[in-house]
Structures are given as structure tokens and as C-alpha cells.
Chain A
Amino acid sequence: MTASTLVSGPHIHSRFNVSRTMMAVMMCLSPATAFGLLHFGWPAVFLFLVTIAAALVFEVLCLALAGKPILRFVTDGSAVLTGWIVALTLPPWAPWWVGVTGAGIAIVLAKHVFGGLGQNLFNPAMVARAMLLVALPVQMTTWVTPIIGGPVGTDFRQALAITFGGETGIDAVSSASTLSHVKSQLDAGQPMQAILADMGSLHDQFFGFVPGSLGEISAFLLLLGGIGLILLRVITVVIPLSVLGSVAVLSGAAWLIAPDQFPPPQFHLVSGSLMFCAFFIATDYVTSPVTGLGKMIYGIGIGALIFVIRSWGAFPEGVAFAVLLMNACTPLIDDYVRPRIFGRTRAGKPIELRDMP
């Protein structure tokens, strides 16, 4: 009865909260993750668990250093989600220390150095991916063919040796990802039609029976999870649509002009990390603009950069760099693109009644 606190309304709240949002994202990620783990076997499972555990440990250390309430922040689920996403972007049979380094970069450098949850300018998982890609070009581009439908399986002991023992006995199974394969063949002077004919069906790529990162191979399951996120109203449709749309439009135009130099748009859409990026990376709340129009600009920017880097860049895949570059633009977009205030014009002046219909 002693409501002596001076509090303003509202005195009721919605069910939304941070940890519920993170849980929803994880739920929608789980089909693609499960598919990846099943596909690549025990080494992938170990890598996945090690990365998430490392992310949690780094989170606790940083919170302790910053003097923040540890239990409340660790249970919000953001560190687990960051570790999860970092793991999904790694080559599935990478050694354990790649995962630990990635988690460390994401949590310490990209998140807590900026001030922790909600303060980071750049997407932590993409910072980790970009740094690993530059620092460890060999480990980050050693792909294995999936086990289901693939030639080689591993038993548990072999898997331990691969993840923790520095065992490299994977020469037999290493292969190139679709994007790097296309790139190298193009550089070798092959025409695009021949490369594509050589590569196998689009169907395999769409459902994920190709080499690639742990959680990014199945465009289909990622699309499913992304639609789930939209239906749960965790994200809006704007960013995914503008990322995928701009990639499709740009690559379609290029393909129509020079079909022997550029792969068709459907190839772009199902390959690499594009689907993962459109639904799970670019839509990160903290590092994307808040208004609808801002999100559209941001998404189109990412899509365009992805296409440019894939087509003319030194790397076969450009998702990490595209996202980071547009992250840097987010504060600017938010400053310029604002919602119109009720009863005011876009310029902030009160509406003149004569202008009204």
C-alpha cells in the first residue's frame, strides 16, 4: 500500500523481453543448426559446443571486469546467441582454438569493449568472422564434404582428434565451397556455363548437400527459420527482403548482360551465407537502423556490397565485410531517416491546414 515511489505510467508491460527475443532467434536457428551438425558429424558438434562455452566464459569475465550483475546479463541469452552464430559461420571441421578465438573476438573486442549489450557499433559475429578470415585464411577456407551423401564419416575418437588433437587428416575430404570454386574456375578462364554445368544441381545447394560453413549450407532451412522469425514478429520483413531483393536484381542484371562472366541470380541466392545473413545477421537489432525506410536503405546497401565483393573482390564471399560496412553507416542512417512526427511535416514544422486534402 505504500506506493511512495514516484513512478510514471505505464504500470503494465508486454510479454516481450530480451531473453525471450534471444530464445526465439535460437529456436528459429535450430533447424539449420541441427542439419549442419548432423551433416558434418562429431567434429562439428564439438566445435559448436566449444564456441558457445567460450562465448559464455568470455561474457562472464567481461561482466566481472565491468562490475555488472553477472547472473542477470548472462541469462539474457545474448552471449549464447553470439557464440552460436559465430560457430555457424565457421568451417565445420576447424580446430577448437578457431572457435575459441572467434568467440573471444566477438564477445570481448566487438561487444564489451564498446560497452556491452546494446552498445556495440558492429555485429560481433561478423567482426569475428572478418578477423578470422583475414588472420587464418587456411583454416577458414578448409571445407569438408557433408557426410550424408558424402564419401567419408568419422567415428567419435577420430572426431576428437580432428577438433582437439590438431589432426589434419582431412586431405581426402577437403573440397572447395561453391563460391570459391566458381571464383577460381573463372580466374582460370573457364566460361560460366561450363563451370555451372560441372557443379551439380541447384537443388543440392538449396537443400544444403554441398560443402560450406557449419550452419549456412541449407538455404531452405534458413529460409524456414527466417519466416518463423517474421511470423513471431521478432524481425520485420524489410531487411531480409531488401538484402535478397537487391542481390537478385543486381546479379540478374549482370547475368543478362554477360552470362559467361556472372552466375545467375538463383545461384547467388542459394549459395554462401546470403540466406543466413539476410535473416539472422543483417537483422541484428543493435547494429541495424530502427525505422522502416532506414532498414530498407541498410538492406539494399548490404545486398549491393555482397554482389560487388562476390563479383569483383578478392574474397569469394563478402557477407561479413558488407554487413560491417553498412553497420558503420547505421548511426548516419538513423540520424537522417526519422519517422514523421504526428501533426508535423517531415521538416518538423507544424502541418499547415491548407496543405491538407
Chain B
Amino acid sequence: MSIFPFAGRFDPARLFSFKGGVHPETRKFLTSDCAIEDMPLPSLIRVPLQQHIGLEAAPLVERGDAVLKGQLIGKACGPVSANIHAPTSGRVIAVGHFTAPHPSGLPVLTITIRPDGRDEWGPRLPRLRPEDASPEEIAAHIAEAGIVGMGGATFPAAVKLNLRAKYDLDTLVINAAECEPYLTCDDRLMRERAEEIADGAGIMAKALGVRDIIVAIEANKPEALAALERHKRALGHALKIRVVPTQYPMGSERHLVKTLTGRETPARALTAELGVVVHNAATAHAVHLACRYGEPSISRVLTVSGRGVARPANLRVLIGTPVAEILAHCGGLVEEPERLLMGGPMMGQPIQSPRVPIVKGTNGVLALSAAETREKDVMPCIRCGLCVQVCPMGLTPFELNTRVEAGDLDGAARVGLLDCINCGCCSFTCPSNRPLVQTIQHAKGRLAERDSRKHQQDQARRLAEARTARLEAIAEAKRAAMAKRKAEMAAKKQREAEAEALVAEAVEATSRKEATK
């Protein structure tokens, strides 16, 4: 290996992909030959009710309830949310807040189940014959099964399938790029379950009402490619299989669409604007299971890897299995890891406690040793411009960093802060090891906080103004009523006085008459 890892590497296919990106050492060899194995039942299962983007699901069970495998235990709330099902049979021992699998480590509402070991199925979802079902029925079925984007974005799949109502769609892209280093779960799934993925893709294409299905695979997965080539007949479609260059972040939705179609998605818009909807390969597999077998989203395949793990593996685990049990199943840790992560090494998140459960979007559990992270001292920026060269969004990360450090949030927003997708190419490549993504994320948070505070203040001011106006209106009404009554009183008094005067006059006249008589 030359002293610089990028030296002398040139892939002509890159000319037609997207600008920027990096080539981290993939280290997929650690697990790429490990067949998917089923992990035995864990001793405890913690199912968070917030595993997806959108609103938290509402719990349907209480402490002490017995649940069966596949039973609905959390009901989706609102248009963007997802159902949660019991991963196995057992007894609910707690419904309460527990540390979330999120870097903040903040608690979310979690249902804790003690498995009874029988793994007994409750009633499955009603079978659906996708050949005869309407797109609406398929989408409703997928929503019922609680399927979310399993590449890590965890956006409810059914909501994405319903985009056909708003956009003119023509293509479904199955994202099997798996550009994150270390992860091989999608690769293995494609090698072992290619037919099922193709079927799931066909079902989704029917739900979307699109003509074409493109499966995008990075060039470093020849076996997965061969497996899919053998099974490319899907429901009513023939899959088009496209090999894309191995380049991080190829798995980013918009960059994958750019590579496949040559067209850029406008900023702040969905790929559906171009008529393309992207779903992950694992999501397609979950759709297959839900439609053909009535199995809701209660398990997933993930990669356990890194030099810190004794036996790297690809496992099918139940949602809610604690990380500690997964690591124990893989022979435990051989050394104190520098980083314990959920997800890939580029965009994954550090795990706050090994007791946190894995969720629908967890595609990896990594224990990285210090030699793998290459964590070094932070040096000053030398303006080498590498971050600008590798940024797939065309930003100037070093400048964003400088502006944020100087407190110039508005200036940073003006030069593209909010367009950052946190892919991490800049920090990965920075020779001074500056935490650029962290600074940018921090600034985004500060900006959001400031905007929401401003919004709150505006709201409060509007309310206060409305209240003053209302009070004034009431006072005005009171004054008006008072004045009216006063006027009435005065008029009444006058009338009475007049009447009295008339009476007095009449009396006087009478007495005068009498006097003249």
C-alpha cells in the first residue's frame, strides 16, 4: 500500500456518479462470508415505541399482560407513525421510560417483555394476495405490519408507498448499495434471499404503480449480484440490476438517484419529484414477509463486527434484543473498544449503554478498536480543501466550521449549513482530524432551537396581543353598555319629568278651571 490510500486509484465509472465522496477501507471481509444465523431468544426484550420518524406509537398493553408473538402492542398515532408488534410471546413486565438507542441516551416509552420461551405466534396478519390486491390495500397492509425504512432512516414505508397520490412516479429503486464500511447484512440477505427480495420489490412496485424496478448494487458485491441475476423475475416485472461504483455515500437516496438517472433532486425536495422512490433491500424483504406470511416487522438482520468483537457475524435478531446479549452471543468483546456503535462507522451512533435494545433501523453493532478509528489529536485547519473536494453536497465544510466557531450561524446557513446530510466525508478525510460534522450538527441544532424559540416568542406575543385586544374589546363593550344605560336612565328621567310636568300642568289647569267656576 502506498503511503496515501487514494494514490493511483481510478475507476472510470466514477465519472458518471456524483461529485465528491470517499473510499474508506470497507473491512467487509470480516463478515461477508458469515451466513445469516438466527439468534436464540434473549432473556429480556425492550421494545421502544419510538423506532421510526414521526410520532410515538401509543401502548396497547399494560404491565402483567400476556402477549403472543406478532401481537400489536403499540398503535400508530397520526399520519406519520408506525405500528409496533410483540417480537415473541411472554409477559409484559414494564411499560415505562427507558434509555433510547440514540446518542442522547434520553428515555423513551418502552415496553419490556420477559419471553416465556415458547415463542408462540398469535394471530398473524391476514394473508394478502398481492396479485389481486389494489395498491391501497397493499399500502394499508404494509402500514399494518409496521414496516419502516430498514436502511437506517426508519421512515414509515407505507407513507412512502402512498406518494403515488401526490407525484407522477415511474421507477422504484431498491437501494442495495450498502456503502457503509463493515456492514454486510444487506449483502448476505441478497445472497441468501434474493428471490424473496425480488418478490418484495414487485409488491412495492405494484403498490406504487410504477413501471420499472432498478436494483442498485455496489461493485464490491459480486455474489449478491449473481444471486439477484438468477432471481430477477418479480411480480409482474423484470428487475433491472445496475452496478454502481463503490463510493461512499452511494447509499444516500439523492446521490443514488443521481448515479442511476443522471438527474439531481432539487434541494429540500423528495426524489419522488423525479418520479423515483427509493426503498432499501431489507425493507423489500420485510414487505415480502408481511404480505406472503403475515409476519409483521418484528425481526431484522444486522451485522456484528469490528476488531473488538470475538466472533463477527450476521444475525437475524428480534427487535428489542439488548446489545449486551448480541455481543455475548458473538463471544463478547476481546478488548475494550474505542467506540461501541449502532449502525455503520460513518454515520452510526455511539451506544450509551450496552443495555439499550436494537430497533427496526439498526443495521449494525460495531465494536471498533483504536487501530480502526485512527482517532488523533485535533490540529488547526490548514485549508487543504480536501473537505471541499470530497463533500458530495458541494459545500465548503471548513468554512462552515470556521463560521460556526465564530458564532456566525446566519452566515453558515447562507453558505449551505442546512444542506449538509451528515455523511461524514469531510471529517473522515480531514488531515487535521477536525470534528466538522459534529460542529455542523451542533450548529443545526442551535439554529433549530433558535427558530423554535423565536416561533414560541412570536406565538406568545400574538397571544398577548390578542388578549389585550380582547380585554379592550370587553372594556369597550362595557363602557358602551354603561353609556347606553346612562343614556336610557337620563331619557327615562326626562320622560318622567315631562310626565310629571304634564300631570302638574293638568292638575293646575283643573284647579284653575275649578277656581274659575
Chain A interface residues (CB < 8 Å from chain B): 1, 3-18, 20-21, 24, 72-73, 76, 116-119, 231-234, 285-286, 288-291, 334, 338-344, 348, 350-353, 356
Residues of chain B contacted by A5 (CB below 8 angstroms): 350
- B395 interface residue per 8 A CB criterion: yes
- B435 interface residue per 8 A CB criterion: yes
Q: Are B8 and A231 in contact (CB under 8 A)?
A: yes
Q: Are B438 and A7 in contact (CB under 8 A)?
A: yes
- B59 interface residue per 8 A CB criterion: no
Q: B158-201 interface mask toward A, CB cutoff 8 Å, 1 = contact, 0 = none?
A: 00000000000000000000000100000000000000000000
Contacts A76-B379, A117-B382 given; does A15 touch B5 at CB 8 Å: yes
Q: Are B373 and A11 in contact (CB under 8 A)?
A: yes
Residues of chain B contacted by A21 (CB below 8 angstroms): 382, 384, 431
Which B-chain residue is minimally distant from A21 (CB atoms)? B431
Which A-chain residue is minimally distant from B415 (CB atoms)? A338
Residues of chain A contacted by B424 (CB below 8 angstroms): 8-10
Query: With the chains together, A72 CA to B78 CA distance in Å?
Result: 55
Query: With the chains together, A234 CA to B392 CA distance in Å?
Result: 20
Q: Are B340 and A1 in contact (CB under 8 A)?
A: yes
Q: Are B395 and A285 in contact (CB under 8 A)?
A: no
Query: With the chains together, A340 CA to B415 CA distance in Å?
Result: 10
Query: With the chains together, A185 CA to B428 CA distance in Å?
Result: 56
Contacts A21-B384, A285-B385 given; does A8 touch B394 at CB 8 Å: no
Which B-chain residue is minimally distant from A119 (CB atoms)? B380
Q: B321-355 interface mask toward A, CB cutoff 8 Å, 1 = contact, 0 = none?
A: 00000000000010011011100011111111010
Query: With the chains together, A232 CA to B6 CA distance in Å?
Result: 8
Which residues between 359 and 380 of chain B lie within 8 Å of chain A, taking CB atoms?
Answer: 366, 368, 372-377, 379-380
Nearest first, the 8 closest Cβ-Cβ pairs linking A and B are: A290-B385, A10-B424, A343-B267, A350-B267, A118-B380, A339-B394, A350-B266, A285-B384
Contacts A18-B379, A116-B380, A352-B266 given; does A341 touch B393 at CB 8 Å: yes
Q: Are A3 and B3 in contact (CB under 8 A)?
A: no
Q: Are B379 and A342 in contact (CB under 8 A)?
A: no
Query: With the chains together, A18 CA to B348 CA distance in Å?
Result: 26
Residues of chain B contacted by A348 (CB below 8 angstroms): 416
Query: With the chains together, A85 CA to B4 CA distance in Å?
Result: 23
Task: Count residues of B near A (Cβ-Cβ below 8 Å).
Answer: 83
Q: Are A350 and B268 in contact (CB under 8 A)?
A: yes
CB distance from B170 to the nearest CB of A (A): 14
- B388 interface residue per 8 A CB criterion: yes
Which B-chain residue is minimally distant from A78 (CB atoms)? B382
Q: Are B380 and A117 in contact (CB under 8 A)?
A: yes
Contacts A338-B415, A340-B394, A342-B254 given; does A14 touch B429 at CB 8 Å: yes
Query: With the chains together, A165 CA to B255 CA distance in Å?
Result: 66
Q: Are A343 and B380 in contact (CB under 8 A)?
A: no
Query: With the chains together, A6 CA to B416 CA distance in Å?
Result: 24
CB distance from A158 to the nearest CB of B (A): 40
Q: B203-243 interface mask toward A, CB cutoff 8 Å, 1 = contact, 0 = none?
A: 00000000000000000000000000000000000000000
Residues of chain B contacted by A16 (CB below 8 angstroms): 4, 386, 429-431
Q: Are A339 and B267 in contact (CB under 8 A)?
A: no
Which A-chain residue is minimally distant from B372 (CB atoms)? A12
Which B-chain residue is minimally distant from A231 (CB atoms)? B7
Q: Are A11 and B22 in contact (CB under 8 A)?
A: no
Q: Are B382 and A285 in contact (CB under 8 A)?
A: yes
| A interface SS class | loop
Q: Are B428 and A8 in contact (CB under 8 A)?
A: no
Which A-chain residue is minimally distant from B308 (CB atoms)? A1
- Besides the known contacts A21-B382, A343-B267, A356-B263, 14 further A-B residue pairs in the complex with CB atoms under 8 A apart: A9-B347, A13-B427, A16-B386, A17-B433, A24-B3, A117-B379, A118-B380, A232-B3, A290-B383, A338-B396, A339-B391, A344-B394, A350-B269, A353-B273
Residues of chain B contacted by A7 (CB below 8 angstroms): 103, 339, 350, 435, 438
Q: Are B382 and A10 in contact (CB under 8 A)?
A: no
Residues of chain B contacted by A351 (CB below 8 angstroms): 264, 266-267
Residues of chain B contacted by A17 (CB below 8 angstroms): 376, 379, 431-433
Contact of B428 among A12, A72, A334, A352 (CB under 8 A): A12
Residues of chain B contacted by A13 (CB below 8 angstroms): 373-376, 427-428, 430, 433
- B381 interface residue per 8 A CB criterion: yes
- B155 interface residue per 8 A CB criterion: no
Which residues between 406 and 462 of chain B lie within 8 Å of chain A, taking CB atoms?
Answer: 415-416, 419, 422, 424, 427-433, 435, 437-438, 441
Contact of A18 among B18, B333, B432 (CB under 8 A): B432
Query: Residue among A3, A9, A72, A356 with the most chain B CB within 10 A?
Result: A9
Which residues between 248 and 274 of chain B lie within 8 Å of chain A, taking CB atoms?
Answer: 254-255, 258, 263-269, 273-274
Query: With the chains together, A340 CA to B266 CA distance in Å?
Result: 12
- B98 interface residue per 8 A CB criterion: no
- B24 interface residue per 8 A CB criterion: yes
Query: Residue among B6, B24, B264, B274 with the most chain A CB within 10 A?
Result: B264
Contacts A20-B3, A350-B266 given; does A9 touch B374 at CB 8 Å: no
